[in-house]
A and B are shown apart, each in its own frame.
Chain A
Amino acid sequence: MQGGLVAIVSIAYLCTLFAIAYFGDKRAEQGRSLTQNPYIYTLSIAVFCTSWTFYGSVGLAARSGLDFLPIYLGPTLVFVVWSVVWVKIIRICKLNRITSIADFISSRYGKSSRLGGLVALIAVIGTTPYISLQLKSIATSFEIITRSSGESGAIHPVLGQYGLDSTFLIALALAIFSILFGTRHIDASEHHEGIVAAIAFESIVKLFAFLAVGIFVTFGVYGGFADLFEKASQADLQHLYTINPAGDYATWVTMILLSMVAIICLPRQFYITAVENTDETHLRTAVWLFPLYLLAINIFVLPIALSGRMAFAGADADMFVLTVPIFYGQGALALLAFIGGLSAATSMVIVAAIALSTMVCNNIVVPILVNLRWVDLGKRRDLTGLLLLTRRASIIAILILGYGYFRIASGSYSLVTIGLVSFVAAAQFAPAIIGGIFWKGASLKGAMSGLALGFVVWAYTLLLPSFAQSGWLPISFIDYGPLGLTFLKPYALFGMDGFDNLSHALFWSMLVNIGVYVVVSLLTHQSTIERIQGAIFVDVFMYTEGLKDSRFLKGTASIGDLRDLVARFVGEARAEKAFQVFATQQGVLLRPAQAADTAWLDRAEKMLAGAVGSATARVMIGSVVKGGIVSLDEMYKILDETSQAIQYSRMLETKSRELEDTTSKLQAANERLKELDSLKDDFLNTISHELRTPLTSIRAFSEILSETPDITEEETSRFLMVIRKESERLTRLIDQILDLAKMESGQMDWALANVDSRPIIEEAVGTMSALMHERGVGLKVDLPAGMPMIKADHDQLVQVLVNLLSNAVKFCRHPGGHVGVAARVRGGQLRISVTDNGEGVPDDKKSEVFEKFHQFNQGTDKMPRGTGLGLAICRQIITFLGGEIWVVDNPAGPGACFSFTVPMARVDGYFAVDDEFEASPNALTI
């Protein structure tokens, strides 16, 4: 076939693509979107089928049978669980305005720009072999189809005569296409409708071309499937009917698992499925239509492979799709196949270039620029141009990189092997993504270290050997390991052989990746923003379906500030329009001077995130919100502190309640102490006074006696008597004070015993009878016949009675004075009363008479008649014995009646004397 014709058809095809993309963009601008339907969406996902599918599957089938199928069964299995995986990822992307896989991972792990950069870097390095694979297929297919013109097998790259390489030109054309339609404007979250339309068209072309070749081979060359397989059996190709009849399915399982993660983690698949999705309901169609597409494009793989094997021997099986039609003289069909292969390759390169350039720009270049002081991004008026330039340069750089790898390494590899190298690189994202949407505890450090180490293992076990095989590194690196360390052989690490290179690399890289990811996550602490992002990702359905408020920012920027900031990245007109729309949605007028509330900040951040990635967007918003920004971190710190403060204040409340309690107790104790203090003062005052009185008398009379020489003997005797009496009183006073003090301080030696009450009363009466006789006071003792035993201290009780009797005598000195002592048993107690017919005790003094030094001298001489301690001592004794003492008016006329009770002794639970014994009074009158 003429190289010129092929070139013209290729260029025409590319022009058609340009036209479709242009048309798609125009329609989108007019609001009549072409791509807003589930079928276009599904066809765009079919970008998964690259030239690897188109050419490589047939090559693989021609070599080893059904081994090509896992690459398509894996994605089918993932789409089976679409409602668990895809809906969640798409929902997260929409909620957070995710623009790429790097953005997704960095956003999940606390919007870390370092992690985003790492993901972008791995994506670029990992995708480069894949892009080179596409370029290689284009170059090879071009070579084959032009050589088939029969011109002595010479290679005729169409422009080769002008010193230009056709592959390079194709790469250049694809770069231009990607730049034109992939980087027209900057808000990456706005969908690239033109690109999607073109990709969908390419998917139709490649499917159509492949099916055409398949149908031609099966029904044109052979008489249907049965005939073809029969002929193949005759040609002894039955071993291609199987996966691996020997029963070793390690590679098969590896490839299924690998393709399962690849359909999610390949940057271009993630981009086209999650980011370019305009409506979640489109998934309902895509989930069954995409697997159906895969099934359709694979049905004829085996037939073409078999026919190729039967047609040639030893030809490049990777190009059977092209060479079989040529072999059977179908030039037009071969050209169609060539265009199909071209469409498969170009669609992958375009989407990959756009997805990667977004990542390189948002996750590598912009974060670096933001951190470079001399660039001072904040002061630049319009950054749209800078961003677009970055993305365009990235696209060109990525394609040059792919072309470079193609020149270096692809010569020695089949298409499938190159593709699988990329798959394993993409698989490194799987733990971070899958773990990130189902496991809240996954931490940034875990993701970062797992990803980095997994990538290193990938590079060591797959990428470096590919360089070695291309002669870029010494081949001994593969055979004997680096520096001859055989246990480090890249294809048999630590002596693990018996696996194919791919399973080997996948095993080691995933072991390291997942292991480190999990262990480091468990050992490190998440920052607050990681925790929040983790919750947003894992519980995305709760946020979107449970209407949780996801607004976290609050600040003091004006709406105008935000608009200016956003305008610098997405352009003046676009920002203005977006803000107007949002204001309308909010139902408010757009007032630039107004302070932006959380909704505005949130909106602005999301718009920026679309342009520069979420990590950078946060920094940018932070830069404009003056001083008042409350970052998630800070907010959570504040929340933490607040909750700590609340807890602390609760503790304080408890403490203060306790303190109040203690204080009031202390106050009461203090009051009591003061009272006691004043009592002590009173006591000291009184006691000194009481002691002074007799002392003063003694001194006065002693002075009279010593200083008056002519004193009569009678007077002397009288004075001496006074001195003696006052001394006695002083002695008594001191004795009583000591007794009282002893009692009050609890140091009194009590001799408690069961004693007979009658002798006590009689003893006391006996003691006092002489005095009473002397004073002419009558005494009447009225005791029942059977006086009970009581529990008391004999001497002290005598003391009580003596005190009471002496008091009674003191106040009955008038003629006809009379004192009565009576005892009665009542309710287990013995009650003893001492009655006199003296002056009595005024009602208001009745309770006071028992207090210390309390005297009421109603006598005309105003002289104290006692120590003032007698009754106080009585009360102490009686209280100690467990009884009571009180005073009432004499019931039989004037005077007072002092009574006290003493508990009776208990003998074996019975009172010694019952109330019955209270019998005939036995009056004793003296």
Chain B
Amino acid sequence: MKRSGRKQEWSLTMFAFGVLVFFPPVVGLFDKTYTVLGLPLAYLVLFGVWGLIIFGIWLGARPASAQAAARHDKQPDERG
């Protein structure tokens, strides 16, 4: 399996994003007792960001051929 430098940069960016959101002080911003849309704010944000990161990993982990195909089809492609 070949690893491209671009993917590593993408990985590290996602990692930094996760660390930013899950660690203080940012985590304190949404660590409140009230609910939004019927769900506790912290519950909503933590699971939402978690899902976002998983989507980000999926984007970065696709095989190079799949990514090339996506680009070829002029699909929106966050990262090559």
Contact = CB atoms under 8 A, between A and B. Distances in A.
A29 interface: no
B1 A66 contact: no
A283 B7 CA distance: 14
Contacts of B34: 238
Given A238-B33, A295-B47, A229 B40 contact: yes
A256 B15 CA distance: 13
A691 B11 CA distance: 108
Contact of B46 (A69, A80, A545): A69
A81 B15 contact: yes
A242 B32 contact: yes
Interface string A53-75: 00000000000001001100100
Interface residues of A, number: 46
Contacts of B31: 242-245, 247
A284 B60 CA distance: 9
Given A87-B1, A242-B33, A77 B40 contact: no
A601 B38 CA distance: 66
B68 interface: no
A288 interface: yes
Contact of A302 (B2, B8, B43): B43
A233 B63 contact: no
Contacts of B23: 249, 253, 256
A115 to B, nearest CB: 29
A249 B42 CA distance: 14
Contacts of B74: none
Contacts of B46: 66, 69, 73
Contact of A242 (B7, B18, B42, B50): B42
Contacts of A252: 24, 27
A281 interface: yes
Contact of A80 (B14, B28, B42, B63): B14
Contacts of B47: 295, 298-299
B1 A291 contact: no
A82 to B, nearest CB: 7
Contacts of A247: 24, 28, 31
A631 B31 CA distance: 59
B37 to A, nearest CB: 8
A622 B2 CA distance: 35
A287 B11 CA distance: 11
Contacts of A541: 3
Contacts of A284: 1, 61-63
Contacts of B22: 70, 73, 77, 256
Given A245-B32, A249-B28, A284-B62, A73 B15 contact: no
Nearest to B40: A241
Contacts of B32: 241-242, 245
Contacts of A69: 46
Nearest to B37: A226
Majority-rule SS of B interface residues: helix
Interface residues of B, number: 42
A84 B1 contact: no
Contacts of B62: 284
A241 B35 contact: yes
Contacts of B8: 83-84
Interface in A234-275: 238-239, 241-245, 247, 249, 252-253, 256
A46 to B, nearest CB: 14
Interface in A403-454: none
A600 interface: no
A541 B40 CA distance: 45
Given A77-B18, A242-B40, A256-B22, A295 B51 contact: yes
A758 to B, nearest CB: 98
Nearest to B51: A295
B12 interface: yes
Interface in A267-310: 280-281, 283-285, 287-288, 291-292, 295, 298-299, 302
Interface in B25-72: 27-28, 31-35, 37-43, 46-47, 50-51, 53-58, 60-63
A238 B62 CA distance: 40
A602 to B, nearest CB: 23
B56 A80 contact: yes
Nearest to A281: B1
B54 A291 contact: yes
A284 B50 CA distance: 18
Identify the interface centre among A77, A245, A283: most chain B CB within 10 Å of its CB. Answer: A77
Contacts of A233: 35
Nearest to B19: A77
B42 to A, nearest CB: 5
Contacts of B19: 77
Nearest to A280: B1
A83 B11 contact: yes
Contacts of B33: 238-239, 241-242, 245
A66 B43 contact: yes
A253 B7 CA distance: 27
B15 A243 contact: no
A358 interface: no
Contacts of A675: none
A76 interface: yes
A83 B53 contact: no
A241 B38 contact: no
Given A66-B46, A73-B50, A288 B61 contact: yes
B35 to A, nearest CB: 6
Given A242-B32, A292-B54, A253 B24 contact: yes
Contacts of A682: none
A209 B35 CA distance: 28
Given A243-B27, A287-B61, A541-B3, A225 B53 contact: no
Contacts of B39: 225-226, 229
A82 B35 contact: no
A614 B57 CA distance: 34
Contact of A249 (B7, B27, B40, B57): B27
Contacts of B35: 229-230, 233, 241
A556 to B, nearest CB: 38
Nearest to A257: B23
Contact of A291 (B41, B53, B63): B53
A509 B49 CA distance: 32
A85 B15 CA distance: 12
B57 A288 contact: yes
A380 B19 CA distance: 55
A79 interface: yes
A80 B22 CA distance: 14
A243 B38 CA distance: 18
A494 B22 CA distance: 31
A281 B58 CA distance: 13
Contacts of A280: 1
A227 B3 CA distance: 47
B38 A226 contact: yes
Interface string A378-421: 00000000000000000000000000000000000000000000
Contacts of B54: 76, 288, 291-292, 295
A225 B57 contact: no
B42 A241 contact: yes
A225 B38 contact: yes
Nearest to A233: B35
B6 to A, nearest CB: 10
29 contacts: A66-B43, A66-B46, A70-B22, A76-B54, A77-B19, A77-B53, A81-B12, A82-B61, A83-B7, A84-B11, A84-B12, A225-B39, A226-B37, A229-B40, A230-B35, A238-B33, A241-B33, A241-B41, A245-B31, A247-B31, A252-B27, A253-B23, A256-B22, A281-B1, A284-B1, A288-B54, A288-B58, A295-B51, A541-B3
Given A242-B40, A249-B27, A283-B61, 15 more contacts: A66-B46, A73-B18, A73-B22, A84-B11, A227-B38, A229-B40, A230-B38, A239-B33, A241-B33, A241-B43, A245-B32, A247-B31, A284-B61, A288-B54, A291-B50
Closest 3 CB pairs of A and B: A226-B38, A241-B40, A288-B58
